[in-house]
Amino acid sequence: MTTQSEQSSNGGTPTREEIEAEIEATRAQLGETVDALAQRMDVKTRMRNKAADTTTRVKAKAADTTTVVKTRAADTSTVVKNRAIETKDEAAAQAQANPAIPAGALVALIVVVGLVIWRRRA
């Protein structure tokens, strides 16, 4: 590794200014190295940053999941409504095709209501 002092402008011994410039450059590099080491040693801050990053990721994932769930719920609601309409229509068609079943249910309901009224009076 060649230093500035070895690359002197006058080809020989480095001048005082060159040595001072080299010292300042070394101090700057050393300061940067110390700062980097200090950041690595500051576990508390690193853990806070890591926790903040994790919190941000979890919140984003929760928002995405919420959106997916809402979309699927809306889709499922639509499917259920459509199926209910189809079932109602099928039941109405079946009742028209075989009116004895609804008529029998109506007669049974009237009998039950009559029995309840009769028991309460007795």
Based on the structure, what is the number of domains in the chain? 2
Domain interval for residue 101: 52-121
Judge if pTM exceeds 0.85: no
Split at pLDDT 50, 70, 90, the class of 5 is very low
With a cut of 90, say whether residue 56 has pLDDT above it. Answer: yes
Please report whether residue 46 resides in a domain: no
* Mean pLDDT for all residues in the chain: 85
Residue 85: the pLDDT is 92
Residue 9: the pLDDT is 56
Residue 12: the pLDDT is 72
Report the Cα 34 to chain-centroid distance in Å: 39
Percent with pLDDT over 70 in the chain: 89
Split at pLDDT 50, 70, 90, the class of 65 is very high
Please report whether residue 65 resides in a domain: yes
pLDDT tens-digit map of 39-53: 888 888 888 989 999
Please report whether residue 47 resides in a domain: no
Residue 7: the pLDDT is 52
Report the Cα 26 to chain-centroid distance in Å: 48
Do 9 and 34 fall into the same domain?
Answer: yes
CA dist 31 and 74 (Å) reads: 59
CA dist 95 and 116 (Å) reads: 27
Average pLDDT over residues 42-70: 93
